[in-house]
A and B are shown apart, each in its own frame.
Chain A
Amino acid sequence: MPDGSAVRSWPLAAGAPRRWTVRVLEPDPRSVNVEAFESLDDRALVAECLGGKPAAFDVIVARHRRAIYQVCHRFAGNHEDASDLSQETFIRAWRGLRNFKGDAALSTWLYRIAVNACLNRVGTRKPETEPIGTDRFVDNRTESPSDGLLREERAVAVRRAIAALPNRQRAALILRAYHDLSHQEIADILGSSVGAVKANFFHALANLKKILGSEP
């Protein structure tokens, strides 16, 4: 069946015309209407997934995909890798759903998976940055073309500087500066202490200052 439903057919009782069969469409648990889960909170969605209703995972993905994509993009520096890493994050989350204890928010747990995936991937090669002109949503109607070019060049320099930071410093900076996570949440994600997170954040800013200060 194209909709994934199971069909069960059997002839009617004696007396009914023989050519008739009763067809009962049994909904496939995988094709349950996603809307039924949208009102549930994250913990309830996880419980539904573990109870054999993977459609609940669609809601989890829809709820967190933007944040996960953005954190992946901050690490990877380009759309293709960010897209792959986001997908990998959710698939890893699905596989490890039983390991989610609910001590922290699901978003924190997903961030942890995403950061690990990013550090594994990005750590093995030089991070790329998108070419100039990808900041499509910056309001530049009042700036001159030369100012715009300078701003974009500076943005590329800042991206490159962030990409050059050591992994822990970069992770602390990204999670704190762009995702507004608390030091405690970042510590949970990185598996370190609040003090270490603060130190990494401080050194990330100090290193950025040093790198950008040496830019022409």
Chain B
Amino acid sequence: MKHLTSDELVDLLESAALDDTRRAHVESCAACRARIDALWRVLAEAQTLTVPEPSPLFWDHLSHRVREAVIAEPQAPSPLRWLRWPVWVPVAGLVGIIVALASVVAPRVGQIGSSPEPGLVLSDGAAIGDPEPANAEDTWALVSDLVGPIDLDTAREAGFSTGPGAADEAVLQLTALEQEELVRLLQQELKQPGG
């Protein structure tokens, strides 16, 4: 007859009932009995190992440490717990950068893609300096009102000065067409009397 399987050996080890035919096999099979005896001895030896009892003060100390850690956590465990400052600060920063980029790029795209009249018309049909959107006009009017009466010295004294290389950087950020147009405007200004 077939020897006991590992499942049956475990069942027998734990005093679980085997059916009559299997039990009869164990009674007649010395090999199966030897296996079960060996497993039983190992298990009994393993079970003599005890965990050393810690100091009686340890249990309260453990509870205290857990309590402190729990108090340091948010008031109640929340499913949105992952949304903590280490996550939302970078996300907020990223959103800020995207908004800033959008505010810089969108008007430029709007200018290039807008009607050429009555702004400057470039060779490929793109317009520069076209104050077409009403918002842009209002914004420029506001900026003009604010800075109009301020001369350069007053602005510098008020701290409105650019850092070294800022102008170069601003020029480098222009597209090739914009740079070309800037050169043309500067040359035009220089040709004027007193320029």
- Chain B residues, CB < 8 A from A159: 49
- Chain B residues, CB < 8 A from A94: 66, 69-70, 73, 77
Say whether B46 contacts A173, CB under 8 Å.
Answer: yes
Say whether B7 contacts A195, CB under 8 Å.
Answer: yes
- Chain A residues, CB < 8 A from B50: 135, 137-138
Whole-angstrom distance between the Cβ of A161 and the nearest chain B Cβ: 8
Closest to A197 in B: B10
- Chain B residues, CB < 8 A from A86: 62
Say whether B67 contacts A58, CB under 8 Å.
Answer: yes
Determine whether A127 belongs to the interface, using a CB cutoff of 8 Å to chain B: no
- Chain A residues, CB < 8 A from B39: 202, 205-206, 209
Say whether B6 contacts A61, CB under 8 Å.
Answer: no
Determine whether B153 belongs to the interface, using a CB cutoff of 8 Å to chain A: no
Kindly state the separation between the CA atoms of A162 and B48 in the bound complex, as whole angstroms: 13
- Chain B residues, CB < 8 A from A51: 76
- Chain A residues, CB < 8 A from B63: 58, 61-62, 65
Kindly state the separation between the CA atoms of A141 and B97 in the bound complex, as whole angstroms: 75
Q: Quick one: which of B38, B41, B49, B54 has the most chain A CB within 10 A? A: B49
Say yes or no: A95-B54 contact (C-beta < 8 A), given A58-B67, A177-B43. Answer: no
Interface residue total, chain A, C-beta cutoff 8 A? 53
Kindly state the separation between the CA atoms of A66 and B168 in the bound complex, as whole angstroms: 70
Whole-angstrom distance between the Cβ of B168 and the nearest chain A Cβ: 52
Enumerate A176-215 residues with CB–CB distance to B below 8 Å: 177-178, 195, 198-199, 201-203, 205-206, 208-209, 212
Say whether A50 contacts B46, CB under 8 Å.
Answer: no
Say yes or no: A98-B79 contact (C-beta < 8 A), given A54-B71, A134-B52, A177-B47. Answer: yes
Determine whether A96 belongs to the interface, using a CB cutoff of 8 Å to chain B: yes
- Chain B residues, CB < 8 A from A98: 77-79
Determine whether B58 belongs to the interface, using a CB cutoff of 8 Å to chain A: yes
Kindly state the separation between the CA atoms of A62 and B64 in the bound complex, as whole angstroms: 10
- Chain A residues, CB < 8 A from B79: 98
The 0/1 profile, CB within 8 Å of A marked 1, for residues 31-59 of chain B is: 00000001101110111111111100011
Closest to A159 in B: B49
Say whether B46 contacts A137, CB under 8 Å.
Answer: no
- Residue of A69, A70, A137, A199 touching B6 (CB-CB under 8 A): A199
Whole-angstrom distance between the Cβ of A105 and the nearest chain B Cβ: 20
Say yes or no: A73-B70 contact (C-beta < 8 A), given A50-B77, A52-B76, A201-B10. Answer: no
Kindly state the separation between the CA atoms of A51 and B77 in the bound complex, as whole angstroms: 10
Top-5 shortest CB links A-B: A202-B6, A134-B52, A90-B66, A73-B51, A209-B42
Which of B's residues lie within 8 Å of A, judged by CB? 6-7, 9-11, 13, 38-39, 41-43, 45-54, 58-59, 62-63, 65-67, 69-71, 73, 75-79, 81
| Besides A65-B59, A209-B42, 4 new A-B residue pairs in contact (Cβ under 8 A), listed by A number | A52-B75, A69-B51, A137-B52, A155-B49
